[in-house]
Amino acid sequence: MADLDDDELLDALGVDATPLKASSRTPREERIIAGFEDILRFHQAHGRAPKHGEAGDIFERLYAVRLDQLRKLPEARLLLADLDAPGLLGTAKPSNLDIDALGEDALLAELGVTTEPEADDITVLRHVRSSAEIRAAEEVADRTPCKDFERFQPLFEQVERELASGVRKALPFGRDASVFNGNYFIVGGQLAYVADVGDTIKAPNGESDARLRVIYFNGTESNLLRRSLQRALYKDETGRRLSDTDMGPLFGSEAEPDDIESGTIYVLRSLSDNPYVAKNRQVLHKIGVTGSKVETRIASASKDATYLLADVEVVATYKLHNLNRTRLENIFHRLFGAAQLDLTIEDRFGNPVKPREWFLVPLNVIDEAVQRIRDGSISKVHYDLGTARLTF
């Protein structure tokens, strides 16, 4: 070893003593290559090019902006040709965001990044808000007292009555994600009313959005974005959309072309010789809903305790279109519950049966109830036992 000179010793150790060549690339070119290498690493990790949008984290969004800029530079395509094996510079779609029109601070603001006032290097992130933080801030927005809440309070009271009577239903959000003027939602445990939908605007990701005026049951309001309300409802396991009261043509002798006949409301009168039934025959009625023919339904009435083990006569029918039959039956039970027949009879096997769907209600009142279900005013009335009338 003592006989080896320095070069031979380095060679024996596997060390290349050839002087490093000075880089012929400019600092700008070095930055372009380094920036593109970050994008390549992202592609290798995720199997795709970085995308714009709030769904991605801050780094993916930065890489997406950087990739857009590189596509615009002819010099970058030449410089990076050997590195761009995945073809990133020519395959991904550019963003709708006009990057050239934004200053550096505005661009960082779009990405959710703020810098210290004294910072002289905007590439150093002083504070980065996560996508979740940005969304949370928007979804909460600043709720302020609603100065004209007296206009909306009667609406909330009406909706509560409609929910209680079954005229409206609370449906899981997601089946229908639309948001329009006059819609009601339950979000964060609060009943919310969309009082106004502003003009359509373009979000930074190019999608359509709009500013809303949302009134809450507690007397506050907010001006959050439509997409923010939708996200809040999606994330809220108890988030609900309230159905409208305008359900289209529910009853009629003929179905409209777009209607689907789903059944018939029928009103029956018992021919039983039971003393109590006979005494109240003119006001004792069974109200039911069937998806088949009424005649088929009552064919074996005399053998069925549900029909008081006696034949019945049909005194009224109403065709039913586009309405849930169970829901309709529940409306009648809530409305006439206080007048429900309280009678226990034995079936043909000797078992005690308490028939349901029989009510001590005059036929004209039942007819009025059907009409009020049709026009949506059923939630405004209740049945008065003393006067045997529907009253407000």
Q: Each residue of 191-227: pLDDT tens digit?
A: 999 998 888 887 766 778 889 999 999 899 998 888 8
pLDDT tens for 380-389 read: 788 888 888 8
Q: Which pLDDT score is estimated for 324?
A: 64
Per-domain residue ranges of the chain: 25-129, 140-242, 261-391
pLDDT tens for 255-278 read: 444 444 567 889 999 998 888 889
Q: 14-28, 73-87, 149-163, 166-180 — which is least confidently predicted?
A: 14-28
Cα gap 163→52, rounded to integer Å: 42
Percent of the chain whose predicted confidence (pLDDT) is above 90: 11
* Residue whose pair of structure tokens reads 């009435």 in the numeric block: 301
Whether the pLDDT of residue 117 is over 60: the answer is no
Based on the number of CB atoms within 10 Å of its own CB, is 142 exposed (0-12), middle (13-18) or buried (19 or more)? Answer: exposed
Q: 10-19, 203-212, 314-323, 346-355 — which is least confidently predicted?
A: 10-19
Neighbours of 151 (CB within 10 A): 11
Q: Which pLDDT score is estimated for 12?
A: 58
Cα gap 221→227, rounded to integer Å: 17
Q: Which pLDDT score is estimated for 29?
A: 80
Question: Residues 87-92: what's their mean pLDDT?
Answer: 71
Residue 57 DSSP SS3: coil
Please give the residue that has the higher pLDDT: either 347 or 197.
197
Residue 391 DSSP SS3: strand
Cα gap 173→179, rounded to integer Å: 11
Please, which pLDDT band fits residue 93 given cuts at 50, 70 and 90? very low
Q: Which pLDDT score is estimated for 339?
A: 87
Please give the residue that has the higher pLDDT: either 124 or 43.
43
Q: 73-77, 188-192, 359-363, 370-374 — which is least confidently predicted?
A: 73-77
Kindly state the DSSP code that residue 379 receives in the 8-state scheme: G
Whether the pLDDT of residue 137 is over 70: the answer is no
Whether the pLDDT of residue 80 is over 90: the answer is no
Please, which pLDDT band fits residue 362 given cuts at 50, 70 and 90? very high
| Residue 184: strand pairing partners | 193
Pick the most confident of 10-24, 102-116, 130-144, 350-364: 350-364
Please give the residue that has the higher pLDDT: either 269 or 115.
269
Neighbours of 317 (CB within 10 A): 15
Determine the angle formed by the axes of helices 325-336 and 149-165, rounding to 10 degrees: 100
Question: Residues 279-304: what's their mean pLDDT?
Answer: 87
Q: 227-236, 251-260, 304-313 — which is least confidently predicted?
A: 251-260
Q: Which pLDDT score is estimated for 184?
A: 92
Pick the most confident of 94-98, 131-135, 245-249, 357-361: 357-361
Please, which pLDDT band fits residue 98 given cuts at 50, 70 and 90? very low
Torsion angle in degrees (nearest 10) through CA of 297, 299, 304, 308:
90
Cβ partners under 8 Å of residue 271, min gap 6: 310, 311, 312, 313
Q: Which amino acid is at 139?
A: E
pLDDT tens for 144-195 read: 899 999 989 888 888 887 777 666 778 888 766 788 888 899 988 889 999 9
Cβ partners under 8 Å of residue 143, min gap 6: 216, 220, 221, 222
Residues 67, 76 contacting (CB under 8 angstroms)? no
Please, which pLDDT band fits residue 115 given cuts at 50, 70 and 90? very low
Cα gap 166→59, rounded to integer Å: 49
Q: Which pLDDT score is estimated for 129?
A: 45
Kindly state the DSSP code that residue 80 receives in the 8-state scheme: H
Question: Residues 46-59: what's their mean pLDDT?
Answer: 75
Q: Which pLDDT score is estimated for 15?
A: 53
Please, which pLDDT band fits residue 85 given cuts at 50, 70 and 90? confident
Q: Please, what sign has the CA dihedral across residues 32, 35, 41, 43?
A: negative
Whether the pLDDT of residue 132 is over 70: the answer is no
Q: Which pLDDT score is estimated for 214?
A: 94
Residue (of 377, 278, 383) closest to 339 by Cα position? 383
Please give the residue that has the higher pLDDT: either 13 or 41.
41
